[in-house]
Amino acid sequence: MTNAKIQLPLPQDMKDAAMRQAAESGISLNLFVATAVAARVGARAEAERYFKARGSRTTAARAKALLQRLGTPGDVRDDDRLDVPDEPGPAGKG
Protein backbone atom coordinates (compact mmCIF):
# COMPACT_ATOMS: atom_id res chain seq x y z
CA MET A 1 0.00 0.00 0.00
CA THR A 2 1.30 3.41 -0.88
CA ASN A 3 0.39 6.56 0.96
CA ALA A 4 -0.86 9.67 -0.78
CA LYS A 5 -0.18 13.11 0.61
CA ILE A 6 -2.99 15.62 0.65
CA GLN A 7 -3.23 19.21 1.70
CA LEU A 8 -6.25 19.74 3.92
CA PRO A 9 -7.19 23.32 4.78
CA LEU A 10 -9.15 23.40 8.05
CA PRO A 11 -10.53 26.23 10.13
CA GLN A 12 -8.03 26.92 12.93
CA ASP A 13 -10.47 25.97 15.70
CA MET A 14 -11.19 22.61 14.05
CA LYS A 15 -7.47 21.93 13.62
CA ASP A 16 -6.86 22.84 17.27
CA ALA A 17 -9.62 20.51 18.43
CA ALA A 18 -8.31 17.68 16.23
CA MET A 19 -4.76 18.20 17.51
CA ARG A 20 -6.01 18.19 21.11
CA GLN A 21 -8.01 14.98 20.59
CA ALA A 22 -5.10 13.32 18.80
CA ALA A 23 -2.76 14.23 21.65
CA GLU A 24 -5.25 12.90 24.21
CA SER A 25 -5.30 9.62 22.25
CA GLY A 26 -1.51 9.56 22.05
CA ILE A 27 -1.41 9.62 18.25
CA SER A 28 -0.26 12.05 15.58
CA LEU A 29 -2.63 14.44 13.85
CA ASN A 30 -1.98 12.56 10.58
CA LEU A 31 -3.04 9.26 12.14
CA PHE A 32 -6.05 10.93 13.76
CA VAL A 33 -7.24 12.31 10.40
CA ALA A 34 -6.51 9.04 8.56
CA THR A 35 -8.50 7.11 11.18
CA ALA A 36 -11.44 9.51 10.90
CA VAL A 37 -11.45 9.20 7.10
CA ALA A 38 -11.20 5.39 7.31
CA ALA A 39 -14.13 5.27 9.72
CA ARG A 40 -16.28 7.41 7.43
CA VAL A 41 -15.37 5.42 4.31
CA GLY A 42 -16.05 2.15 6.13
CA ALA A 43 -19.37 3.34 7.51
CA ARG A 44 -20.57 4.42 4.08
CA ALA A 45 -19.48 1.14 2.49
CA GLU A 46 -21.32 -0.79 5.22
CA ALA A 47 -24.48 1.31 4.76
CA GLU A 48 -24.39 0.75 0.99
CA ARG A 49 -23.96 -3.00 1.52
CA TYR A 50 -26.80 -3.11 4.05
CA PHE A 51 -29.32 -1.18 1.96
CA LYS A 52 -28.44 -3.11 -1.19
CA ALA A 53 -29.05 -6.38 0.67
CA ARG A 54 -32.30 -5.07 2.16
CA GLY A 55 -33.48 -3.75 -1.19
CA SER A 56 -32.87 -7.07 -2.91
CA ARG A 57 -35.32 -8.79 -0.53
CA THR A 58 -38.42 -6.90 -1.66
CA THR A 59 -40.27 -5.52 -4.65
CA ALA A 60 -41.78 -2.16 -5.43
CA ALA A 61 -45.26 -3.67 -4.99
CA ARG A 62 -44.43 -4.93 -1.48
CA ALA A 63 -42.94 -1.54 -0.58
CA LYS A 64 -46.10 0.23 -1.80
CA ALA A 65 -48.29 -2.16 0.22
CA LEU A 66 -46.23 -1.52 3.35
CA LEU A 67 -46.37 2.23 2.86
CA GLN A 68 -50.15 2.10 2.44
CA ARG A 69 -50.50 0.19 5.72
CA LEU A 70 -48.08 2.37 7.68
CA GLY A 71 -48.36 5.76 6.03
CA THR A 72 -50.52 8.62 7.12
CA PRO A 73 -53.72 9.20 5.20
CA GLY A 74 -53.77 12.04 2.74
CA ASP A 75 -52.35 13.03 -0.57
CA VAL A 76 -49.06 11.56 -1.70
CA ARG A 77 -46.46 14.20 -2.43
CA ASP A 78 -44.91 14.07 -5.90
CA ASP A 79 -41.46 13.43 -4.41
CA ASP A 80 -42.82 10.41 -2.47
CA ARG A 81 -44.22 8.61 -5.51
CA LEU A 82 -42.56 5.29 -6.40
CA ASP A 83 -43.73 5.39 -10.02
CA VAL A 84 -41.86 8.63 -10.79
CA PRO A 85 -38.10 8.45 -11.40
CA ASP A 86 -35.89 10.36 -8.97
CA GLU A 87 -34.70 13.73 -10.18
CA PRO A 88 -31.07 14.67 -9.60
CA GLY A 89 -30.60 17.02 -6.65
CA PRO A 90 -29.21 20.55 -6.86
CA ALA A 91 -25.56 20.91 -7.86
CA GLY A 92 -23.25 19.80 -5.10
CA LYS A 93 -25.94 17.81 -3.28
CA GLY A 94 -26.53 14.07 -2.92
Q: What number is the average pLDDT over the span 86-90? A: 60
Q: Is the pLDDT of residue 70 over 70?
A: yes
pLDDT band at 72 (very low <50, low <70, confident <90, very high): low
Determine the structural domain holding residue 50 and report its residue range: 12-70
Number of domains in the chain: 1
- State how far Cα 84 lies from the chain centre: 24
25 occurs within a structural domain: yes
Q: What percent of the chain has pLDDT over 90?
A: 48
34 occurs within a structural domain: yes
Neighbour count for residue 31 (Cβ, 10 Å): 12
62 occurs within a structural domain: yes
Amino acid at 26: G
What whole-number distance in Å separates Cα of residue 37 and Cα of residue 57?
31
The pLDDT tens digits of the residues spanning 19-47 come to: 999 999 999 999 999 999 999 999 999 99
30 occurs within a structural domain: yes
